[in-house]
Structure 1
């Protein structure tokens, strides 16, 4: 049994694993609240996801459970005590020369070295701010506006924009997965927005579809992205990246990437490539577990008393 541990509101991302026709191994999608209430679990592997959405004490308890599972012989992925979250990750990648753009805490009222920049919350993966800020005056005004509307700048980042459009007003975002030591290509998407996330139906040309298919077949960026995963201490997740004037730019590494079931585009070759990629991902996941191990996890009472109430149960605060 492979356990994927996620936050309660974001288990939907694992639908593609649970319902994949290629899956030949048992899998359970569990929440951290569930995990922290168990005394013992049986698992061949355990993947910790959604670490950027945990509160600090949850992150600390997850790291303890990780070690109990590891010491019992369960294969574990994404050590909560070592995984770098967004600000630390992007700062580290810039320091190592993997990225050449910088990120700044918004609350410090930064003066970025280059523009344009944009705002993004440090937690989660949504892009709540949909405009590029072209200079310092625009940034200062935006920060003033955000605070005036009642949004704190704490846990908000100012990021130098790094993505050269593939054509006028059209941007592309590439993806690659890591499962253990295996690097697997994901499909890139194209949008008429600098903040590429899901892709825009009907925008890609046939030539662009063919480029994506060829990229997924050759997986040319695997070893270029491996150092980013290593620096982040992430051994299961998906990196989103692009290129700025030919230079690689890693945007994030998501420990709980959404796994789909099919491509769903008008281009048959693209759909087939996506299907091959998803099959390879599922088959690779099937190889990460060994023999099932009964492992004692037994969380501390101090942490259990701080868990969210479940089924109407009220837990007292000391």
Structure 2
């Protein structure tokens, strides 16, 4: 882990911060920004924590889902140091809600109708079906659908036997439903980029988890509807509310339709930004292009001309005094 290199930069600049191995999520956006004259830089969290001085400019702090609590505290100190120096900074670690807390908050606010339970505090499902998953990261389900308490207990024991910590496990009520009149599922999505909400592309497939879609499931009418929503987006107010509850200024929300109402599945602070591609359906091709161009344009508008370097030497001095500062994320 080496400190940030502070080479002179005359162009407007934007920095994206993730764990080192997840820089690929912003790679396509960074390439497009660079082509438009913006100096786009990936800065791993371990580099941030090994530095006493960071470059001035715009910073997008991300990948909170994979940071341990101690690192989130340090990241919050960095956020405040950058803000105090006049940088534009998106995503405050102190205000971000992790998955289980976000699910609870969305239910309390009436956004979601489904629930989650923490077995670590002896919470057990009382509505079915459910599935078990890790609260951190984006690893998907740790079980299939579970229909009763005996199955839930067995799934938890199996996860613990694998070494998954109970503090990171939650039961989540099943909240998916096939597209009305169809046999396949749809995952809708939208980005927030600072002051803007942007529709993202939907994915379709026969798996309710929908990590990735398959093109053979969507119809021409699906693609036509998606293309129309790139011009007039009907869910903008809904998406704004979700991001405000989540405490996220940059990220992607994934959601679906169940029983006629929208249900939020997750908010990702480091979503994978995929480039445009050709599709057999021309509406889909255009939607993919518009979604990518809209995101890059919004990020381009956030980039700033750099000023004087920013000292963060005092941001987590206590950790360094104990000899842990530079190695704070070594295990990651």
Question: Which string of whole-angstrom CA distances, capped at 9 and with x for unpartnered residues, describes residues 136-174 of structure 1?
Answer: 333233223333454443311101111221155411110
Count how many residue pairs are aligned between Structure 1 and Structure 2: 310
1:67-216 → structure 2 map (5 Å cutoff): 67-129=80-142, 131-166=144-179, 167=181, 169-216=183-230
Identify the residue that residue 237 of structure 1 maps to in structure 2. Answer: 251
Match of 2:15 in 1: 3
TM-score, structure 2 as length reference: 0.87
Aligned residue for 1:60, secondary structure, equals: helix
Whole-angstrom distance in 2 between the partners of 1:134 and 1:252: 23
* Alpha-carbon shift at residue 272 of structure 1 (Å): 1.1
Cα 1:145–1:40, aligned 2, differ >3 Å: closer, same or farther? closer
- Residue pair 1:118, 1:132 contacting (<8 A) in 2 also: yes
1-structure distance, mates of 2:236, 2:113: 19
Aligned partners of 1:23 and 1:282 also within 8 Å: no
The 5-angstrom pairing of residues 6-25 of structure 1 reads: 6-20=18-32, 23-25=36-38
Q: Contact between 1:105 and 1:158, CA under 8 Å: does it hold in 2?
A: yes
Is the 2:142–2:159 Cα contact (8 Å) retained in structure 1? no
Residue 304 of structure 1 corresponds to 325
User: For 1:249, which of 237, 258, 263 is the aligned residue?
Assistant: 263
Structure 2 distance, partners of 1:106, 1:266, is 46
Task: Indicate how the Cα distance of structure 1 residues 280 and 168 shifts in structure 2: closer, same or farther if over 3 A, else same.
Answer: closer
Q: TM-score under structure 1 normalisation?
A: 0.91
**Which segment drifts farther, 196-205 or 95-104?**
196-205
Partner deviation per Cα, 1:192-251 (whole Å, 9 max, x = no partner): 011012111322222222222223332111111111111111000000011110111111
How much has 1:108 moved relative to structure 2? 4.1
* Structure 1 unaligned residues grouped into runs of 5+: 311-318
Q: Does 1:221 align with 2:242?
A: no
What is the root-mean-square deviation of aligned Cα atoms in Å? 2.0
SS in 2 for 1:137: helix
| Aligned equivalents of 2:157, 2:312: Cα separation in 1 | 47
Aligned to 1:147, the other structure's residue is in SS state helix
What SS does structure 1 have at the residue aligned with 2:97? coil
Q: Secondary structure at the match of 1:304?
A: coil
* Partner residue, 1:56: 69
Assess if the C-alpha contact under 8 Å between 1:72 and 1:293 holds in 2: no
Q: 5+ unaligned residues in a row in structure 2: which ranges?
A: 1-12
Q: Aligned partners of 1:308 and 1:135: how far apart in 2?
A: 39
Corresponding position of 1:314: none
Residue 289 (structure 1) shift: 2.9
Partner of 2:9: none
